[in-house]
Amino acid sequence: MTACYTAQKVAAGIWHIWDPMGVGMTLLVGTQRALLFDTGYGLWDLKGFLQSFCPKPLTVLLSHAHPDHVLGALRLGESVSLHEADFPYLGRYSSQCMRQMNLDAARAKGLAPDSWACEHYLHAPMPGAVPLAAQRFDLGGLHVRVLPLPGHTPGSIGLLVEERELLLLADSWNPQTWLFFPECCPVERYRQSMRALTGLTYKQVLVSHDPFPRGEAALRGFIDGLTDQVLEGALPYRVPGHECFPTRCCEPVPQSPFIFDAAKWKPVRLKPHPGT
Ligand SMILES: [Zn+2]
């Protein structure tokens, strides 16, 4: 089956691009420049797809170092920016072994990688990654603020597209939010990052594994629901393919599960008073 990216216009100058493997990336187009947030798996011609409707100079930001976000950079021929806290993971997650797993996964889904991927995907060099230095980008009529969100990985970031009141949270919030890989931060650090979002002005939220935007109230409910009591009540839950982790699952709000490594949740407990 021939696969192709699809693009959904979310707002003026904003396209959420869907990788057939099941992950999104977002293209922000100003009057002067464009910015691509994440790059997908890279099994199809991403550069050709982007140029078909946006010929402007492109800045590429990676939300974090996981393979479904970074390997599309193989198809762009542009340097990419990544928070320096995720640099230690980039080599492992863009390795030949990881690429082979992606090719196998695509074929298992019945999605044929394109001819370039069949020939070059395993061995193509990753474009240079540079530490993300800017805190705000001016694309021309569109200003984008970088939001550090340590949690899902230490160097995870989100973006606030100011004029569109749009938050981009990548894997920091998903239909299932995962915090169980070895590089994930403790749950408390993640919770601090998410609570820091509550002072921002936004109306819509885009995340990596949902093709459709969500409303501000849904994110607020998730953050408010991430209480000690809810975390303490999390039940053992095995994630297919990741059974080696002692994962637990809770629902801060209905149908928005949060799955974490039990070892990463150590609530602060008050010491018992002497003599009690
Ligand atoms: Zn991730």
Distance 179 CA to ligand 1 centre (A): 9
pLDDT of residue 269: 54
The correct answer on CATH 3.60.15.10 for the domain covering 6-176+197-231 is yes
Task: List, as own/partner pairs, every contact residues 121-126 make where C-beta atoms lie below 8 angstroms and the sequence separation is at least 24, other chains included.
Answer: 121/42, 121/43, 121/74, 122/96, 123/96, 124/74, 126/70, 126/73, 126/74, 126/90, 126/94
CA of 141 to the centre of ligand 1 (A): 30
Q: Positive or negative, the Cα torsion across 170, 176, 181, 185?
A: positive
The alpha carbon of 152 and the centre of ligand 1 are apart by a number of angstroms equal to: 6
Instruction: Tell me, in angstroms, the distance from the centre of ligand 1 to residue 64's CA.
Output: 7
- Angle value at C-alpha 208, between 202 and 212, nearest 5 degrees: 65
pLDDT at 274: 57
**CA 274–ligand 1 middle distance (angstroms):** 44
Question: What is the model's pLDDT at position 77?
Answer: 86
The residues, ordered by sequence, that sit 6+ positions from 225 with a Cβ below 8 Å of its Cβ are 251, 252, 253
Residue with tokens 């420049």: 33
Do 72 and 146 contact (CB within 8 A), yes or no? no
Q: Report CA(68)–ligand 1 centroid distance (Å).
A: 7
How many whole angstroms from 168 Cα to the centroid of ligand 1?
Answer: 14
- 228 C-alpha to center of ligand 1: Å? 24
* 261 Cα–ligand 1 center, Å: 15
Dist. CA 230 → ligand 1 center (Å): 23
The three-class DSSP label of residue 206 is: strand
Beta-carbon-side half-sphere exposure of residue 233 (alpha carbons within 13 Å): 10
Q: How many A from CA of 15 to the centre of ligand 1?
A: 20
105: helix, coil or strand?
Answer: helix
How open is the CA angle 148-150-153, to the nearest 5 degrees?
120
Q: Domain residues of the chain, as ranges? A: 6-176+197-231
Q: How far is the CA of 32 from the centre of ligand 1 (A)?
A: 30
- Distance between Cα 93 and ligand 1 center (Å): 10
Helix 216-225 vs helix 187-195: crossing angle, to nearest 10: 140
Q: What is the pLDDT of residue 268?
A: 54
The pLDDT tens digits for 196-235 are 999 999 999 999 999 999 999 999 999 999 999 999 999 9
Ligand 1: centre distance to CA 171 (Å):
5
Whether residue 158 contacts residue 192, with contact meaning beta carbons closer than 8 Å, is answered with: no
Splitting the chain (276 residues) into consecutive groups of 10 residues, what average pLDDT does each group show? 84 96 97 97 96 89 98 94 97 97 96 95 94 96 98 98 98 98 97 96 97 96 97 95 94 96 77 54
Whole-number Å distance between alpha carbons of 256 and 230: 13
> How would you list the strands of the sheet with 34-37, edge to edge?
6-11, 14-19, 23-29, 34-37, 58-61, 80-82, 129-131
Q: What are phi and psi of 27, to 5 degrees?
A: -105, 125
Looking at residue 276, its pLDDT comes to 47
Contact residues for 229 (Cβ-Cβ < 8 A; gap 6+): none
Tell me the whole-structure pTM to 2 decimals.
Answer: 0.94
